[in-house]
Amino acid sequence: MNRISDFRDKAKVSQAGLAKVVGVTPSTIGNYESGIRNIKLKMCWKIVKALNALGANCTFEEVFPNPQHDTSEIEHKG
């Protein structure tokens, strides 16, 4: 799951506004946010750069957290 909408809201920009900066349609942004459409790595970076340009102040890892880093599923061996 991504956090595009969280950071888009933080930047106070609509899906249409982000879409314009990234170069896609507003429905594409909506599909990315809802997980209907998969995002290629290059587009992920474009989205993060656009969010930062719009004032969101975010990192790639914040917008696209790695589900494999969920520490609740890691068994600690001692």
pTM: 0.84
Which domains does the chain show, CATH number per domain?
4-60 (1.10.260.40)
Q: Count the alpha carbons within 13 Å of 55 in the hemisphere toward its beta carbon.
A: 7
Tens of pLDDT, residues 26-75: 999 999 999 999 999 999 999 999 999 999 999 999 999 987 765 554 44
2 has pLDDT over 50 = yes
Mean pLDDT calculated for residue range 13-21: 98
Q: Tally Cβ neighbours within 10 Å of residue 71.
A: 6
